[in-house]
Structure 1
Amino acid sequence: MNQILIIDDDPAIQILLKRTLHNQGYEVFVASNGEDGLAQARQLRPALVICDWIMPRMNGLEVCRHVKATPELSTTMFILLTSLGSIEDRVKGLDAGADDFVCKPIEMAELQARVRSGLRLHQLSRDLQHQKHLLEMELAEAAEYVRSILPDRMTEPPVTIDARFIPSRQLGGDGFDYYWLDSDHLAIYLLDAAGHGLRAALPTLSVINLLKSRALPNINYYQPSDVLRGLNHTFQMTQRNDKYFTLWYGVYNRLNRQLTYASAGHPPAILFCGTPSSYTDAKLLKTAGLPVGMFLEADYVDACCDVTQSSTLYVFSDGIYEINQPDGSIWGLEPSYP
């Protein structure tokens, strides 16, 4: 049964409204002033509040503002009773959060119709809130799945790897992986699908699972440019809801300490030579290449570099440096490294 709270300092109005609405099958509660009404609203969480505008101590506008500012009452509809009929007064009421008005003297047929309308809106709000909660739960489960397929830290020599994964939203299009192709070759990649949310996460999951299982046909996984070409043929945006992604892919040969890499429109990786306390050089590792999925005829090239003892390789997405500054500018890549 829907609960309705009446807040009015006039006992006659209280009795009239309570009797009328009770006869309509509603559970009705009454408060004689704004403060008591607000306390009851927070306790009862009614579907609808009918509140007089002009009351001593706390008027209807103040009650309305407090109700609308209370998260637990987010679906409660609020009707103001008023003898003030000007446009300016109605604007004040709407700005305070009122959902509807009933003018005095009260016409009962109109009041009952507005109550029915308010209760329908209340139910719609509750349904939307429930659907939002279900969607958030599903997104949380999807985000947990994304995290579950990301690799653990590598702590054993000859290579140690750590990672930080912080989506800008609960679910995003970034993903990465690293694993030994054999005992001597380590594959490392990071991709960033266009957009946010589930639509961006789905192609990322597909790429990670595809590369992890080495399911791309006729591909040399030791040659980064060949991997990018294979992905580009598989994930054309015309067949994938206009979704494309950038990707940096590298293969490290631990025997000759050489890194071979290729990029598909992705920010360059940065190789710092020397120890973290005394870097001697910083190299941007980038190659020409369009994002995967944009054009079927896109081509990719490899580049190589030597990796000296105690070097550190940073692979990242653009979210690490595309940060809005107080002056409205965006922090670029150059300030991100020495």
Structure 2
Amino acid sequence: MFKILIIDDDPTMRAILKRALQNQSYDVTVASDGEVGIAQAQQIQPALIVCDWMMEDLNGLDVCRLIKANPKLATTFFILLTARQEVEDRVMGLDAGADDFLAKPIDINELKARVRAGLRLYQLNQDLQAQKQALETLNQDLQHQKQLLETELAEASSYVRSLLPTPLIGSVTTESLFIPSAQLGGDCFDYYWLDNDHLVFYLLDVSGHGVGSALVSVSVLNILRSQSLPNTNFYQPSAVLKSLNDTFQMSDRDDKYFTIWYGVYNRAQRQLYYASAGHPPAILLAGTTNLQVKHLDSSGLPIGFLPDAMFEQDVISLPESSTIYIFSDGAYEIPQPDGRIWGKEAFVQLLVTSHQQNTSLKHLLSQLQVLNHTHNFADDLSIIKIQFNV
């Protein structure tokens, strides 16, 4: 039931208005002057106020201003009773905050109609306020969930980074870059000694981005690091890729597949055995005065495409002063302002130049960031540099 407050210093008018509105089943309260009316309004917080303009002490305009200035009463629908007919008077009333006018002498049917219209507008305003509050609450909840998610993603990102290997020093030295396009990406890499003479190093790139891709990459890293693939010779890259393909079929992994370049270096014989599953070729740079550039590639579908896929393995003898770069396609598939993709050939040339100038991967990254033209790369970007000193 709507609450209505009548403020009028004429007792006869108060009685007429109260009776007419009570007959419409409204909860009606009356006040005999402006001060009492304001006190009543603060107490009952009515949906609608009918107030006479001409009253002693506080007139209707003053009451209206004070009512509308109270945040708890600002949405109350305010009707001024007035015998004034001039446009200037109505402008004064509207400026004071009045929502409607009712001319004297009062027609009861018009009174009832204007009250119904005012209450409809009041209810609409209340509904909008409720919806606004609900949206604000929902937004606060979403912001809270967003903060929780960002915290969890940051923790997950820190965990993934903690799994990446520390740089090698000695006869073989390493340097690496790991730049996910989002907090979590699908790239991952590792290198470690199988024994005193055999070094494993690989880089993989899972399709997609985000949590799902990161989970797959971490799973592969942990399985390879723990050498828990059954019946697998980890000294043979082709055997490792076949076992990975048997384990990570995309039909069982939410359609996630990955590319990988995997190599095993025999330090005693200075030979590198390697295999690739749909991954960009590693780049071998050898020599000092006459720099040799060789693409280390082998055929093979990405891991997870076909259950019975086979993978070829190649071997190469590493000359003295050899360096190998392994990278994901995010290092060169960089969109340019003219719509072209920067491309692998340009990236390899940048590698050669960087190698000849003996600059770090961080310097290389700064050049790629200039080429990228935006803050974040469109795809995950990972590079590992392996330098064979002996």
The TM-score normalised by the length of structure 1 is: 0.70
Moved over 6 A (4+): 10-14
Asked if 2 retains the 8 angstrom alpha-carbon contact of 1:272 and 1:279, the reply is: no
User: C-alpha distance in 2, partners of 1:111/1:141?
Assistant: 44
Aligned length: 251
Matched, 1:215 2:266: no
Partner SS, residue 166 of structure 2? coil
Partner SS, residue 130 of structure 2? helix
2:240 counterpart letter in structure 1: V
1:237 counterpart letter in structure 2: M
Percent of counterpart pairs with the same letter? Answer: 52
The CA deviation at 1:107 is 2.9
The CA deviation at 1:19 is 3.8
Give the direction of change, closer, same or farther, for the CA distance of 1:21–1:150 in structure 2 (3 Å limit).
Answer: same
What are the Cα deviations for residues 107-145 of structure 1, in whole angstroms up to 9, with x where unaligned? 322222211111101111111111111111111111100
1:243 counterpart letter in structure 2: K
Q: Which residue of 1 aligns with 2:256?
A: 243
Q: Which residue of 2 aligns with 1:150?
A: 164
Unaligned runs of 5+ in 2: 1-60, 76-94, 100-117, 350-390
User: C-alpha distance in 2, partners of 1:287/1:13?
Assistant: 85
Matched, 1:334 2:345: yes
Unaligned runs of 5+ in 1: 1-9, 25-54, 56-81, 83-103
Give the direction of change, closer, same or farther, for the CA distance of 1:122–1:304 in structure 2 (3 Å limit).
Answer: same
Matched, 1:112 2:126: yes
User: C-alpha distance in 1, partners of 2:163/2:287?
Assistant: 32
Give the direction of change, closer, same or farther, for the CA distance of 1:186–1:23 in structure 2 (3 Å limit).
Answer: same
Partner SS, residue 308 of structure 1? coil
Q: Which residue of 2 aligns with 1:40?
A: none
RMSD (Å) for aligned C-alpha atoms: 2.7
Q: Which residue of 2 aligns with 1:133?
A: 147
Matched, 1:284 2:295: yes
User: C-alpha distance in 2, partners of 1:167/1:150?
Assistant: 13
Q: Which residue of 1 aligns with 2:327?
A: 316
Give the direction of change, closer, same or farther, for the CA distance of 1:213–1:105 in structure 2 (3 Å limit).
Answer: same
Q: Which residue of 2 aligns with 1:21?
A: 72
Give the direction of change, closer, same or farther, for the CA distance of 1:224–1:328 in structure 2 (3 Å limit).
Answer: same
The CA deviation at 1:20 is 6.6
Give the direction of change, closer, same or farther, for the CA distance of 1:11–1:264 in structure 2 (3 Å limit).
Answer: farther
The CA deviation at 1:11 is 9.0
Q: Which residue of 2 aligns with 1:196?
A: 209
Give the direction of change, closer, same or farther, for the CA distance of 1:287–1:11 in structure 2 (3 Å limit).
Answer: farther
Q: Which residue of 1 aligns with 2:275?
A: 262
Give the direction of change, closer, same or farther, for the CA distance of 1:11–1:155 in structure 2 (3 Å limit).
Answer: farther
1:307 to 314, 318, 321: 318
User: C-alpha distance in 1, partners of 2:147/2:73?
Assistant: 33
Between structures 1 and 2, the one with greater helix share? 2
What are the Cα deviations for residues 195-227 of structure 1, in whole angstroms up to 9, with x where unaligned? 000010001000000000000011010000000
Q: Which residue of 2 aligns with 1:164?
A: 177
Matches for 1:2-151 after TM superposition, within 5 Å: 15-19=66-70, 21=72, 107-151=121-165
Partner SS, residue 161 of structure 1? strand
User: C-alpha distance in 2, partners of 1:310/1:281?
Assistant: 11
Which one scores higher on RCO, CA 8 angstroms, separation ≥ 6? 2
2:294 counterpart letter in structure 1: K
Partner SS, residue 107 of structure 1? helix
Q: Which residue of 1 aligns with 2:247?
A: 234
Partner SS, residue 172 of structure 2? coil
User: C-alpha distance in 1, partners of 2:64/2:166?
Assistant: 68
The TM-score normalised by the length of structure 2 is: 0.61
